[in-house]
Amino acid sequence: MKKLWQMLTKPSSKYSILALVLVGIGITLAGVLTVHKSFEFASTTEFCTSCHTMEQNYEEYKQSIHFKNASGVRAECVDCHQPKDLPGKLQRKLGAWKDVYNHFITKKIDTPELLEEHRLELATAVWDRMKSQNSKTCKSCHSYDAMDHSKQSAQAAFEMNKAAAEDMNCIECHKGIAHELPNMAGGFQKDFEELQATANTQGAVAETLYSLSEKSIFAVADANSTVSGNLLPASEVTVLERDGDMMKVKIDGWLEKEGRGRVLTEYMGKRVFKATIRGDVKASEQLLEEQTDATTNIVWQHVSVEGWITKDDMIDDIQPIWNYAEGMYGSTCTACHAAPAPGHFTANGWISSLNGMSAYYRLSKTEERTLLKYLQNHGSDTGGAGAH
């Protein structure tokens, strides 16, 4: 023990081990204090908004209820963007190198115009991060268990009870709570443009094609002739013949036996519309089979017709269309609330459900029909796989 004590107290003629340990402890404490104070300083709203690229975000935040409200409780930048636990803090601070790089090097959002151009990309990155953390920054202040539903509106209480039961991600329903929402159409509209560019090559060679948009059907190979029907988006056709910019195609689907029989559907008994037919195209109808829907006793006929369409906006795989429609659904129908999974409703049920949401999104008629087709083909009674 004596030798051990001598080694600890006199490792050299100049310094003892105890002295070195004490110096090490002092350095460690100074380092911890420095890191703590640095974190504290770098976590203030003043620091976060000190760059001119954050000025617009800061002004938007000042207009939100998180900045000023009846209770006087303010959520600072880090309360939403930085987790409270040490690993989460470190991960977020390390991830902020991209912000520093873009601020000083790329100048990616150096002007208000550039910020608007990249707003969707930036918002999506934050939403994805919050989803991956199950909105733990939100839940550090807002606890499902602490909510008094009697003080909420009836609709809010109904939704929050469901959210609490599923421990739902807050950001599913509360996008745009502190900053302006981006133009949600930007992403999926760009996807559509890319699909159109791809279609210019695929439509020229493949024998089985799918429509990107609504297309006129003609009885002859002349786009200036009388229109004899319409092919709806995301509908399958078989190419029989090509003539310049025109293609002769076969379209099969289901018709009600009784009635005018002009609307072809993807499935018997389900209002998943594929095409409308009339005139000479209707006259080309060939009966493939006949069945009675056991639930309604309505007789349906599986038929095929032939007609001509232009070769543009046709693609050889349905999956890219579903991917595009899925992006559209995520962008438009989850901007304000958590949208149900496509398999939540039946194919026919999705018609009224989507109509009920139409006041809250802005889609063109073609976009809306493509979205409906996606939801119906992934509905609870169509296999949920998007198969035709």
Count of domains in the chain? 3
> Where are the strands (E) in 17-141, listed by range?
none
Q: Minimum mean pLDDT among 9-18, 221-230, 280-289, 379-388: which range?
A: 9-18
Q: Which is higher by pLDDT, 374 or 384? A: 374
% residues pLDDT > 90 (the chain): 38
pLDDT in tens, 191-205: 888 888 888 665 567
Residues 63 and 95 in one domain: yes
347 lies in a domain? yes
For the residues 303-332, what does the mean pLDDT come to?
91
CA-wise closest residue to 324 among 183, 195, 186: 195
pLDDT at 387: 46
The response to whether 344 counts as a known ligand-binding position is no
- How much is the pLDDT for 100? 85
Q: Is 142 annotated as a binding residue?
A: yes
For residue 118, say whether it is annotated as part of any ligand binding site: no
Q: Per the annotation, does 103 bind a ligand?
A: no
| pTM score of the predicted model | 0.63
For residue 63, the enclosing domain spans 23-141
Answer yes or no: do 278 and 294 share one domain: yes
Is 378 marked within a binding site?
Answer: no
51 is in an annotated binding site: yes
> Do 345 and 275 belong to one domain?
no
Of 141, 159, 194, the residue at which a domain comes to its end is 141
DSSP H or E segment with residue 374: helix 365-377
Residue 77 marked as a ligand binder: yes
- Backbone phi, psi, residue 170, to 5°: -60, -40
Residue 81 assigned as binding residue? yes
Residue 138, marked binder? yes
Q: Find out whether 141 is annotated in a ligand binding site.
A: yes
336 is in an annotated binding site: yes
337 is in an annotated binding site: yes
Q: Within a 10 A sphere around the Cβ of 145, how many other Cβ atoms?
A: 5
* 258 and 340 within one domain: no
- For the segment 242-253, the average pLDDT, to the nearest whole number, is 94
Residue 140, C-beta contacts closer than 8 angstroms, at least 6 positions apart: 79, 83, 84
For 310, residues 6+ apart whose C-beta sits below 8 A from its C-beta are 215, 216, 223, 245, 246, 247
* Whole-number average pLDDT of the chain: 86
pLDDT in tens, 290-313: 999 988 899 999 999 999 999 999
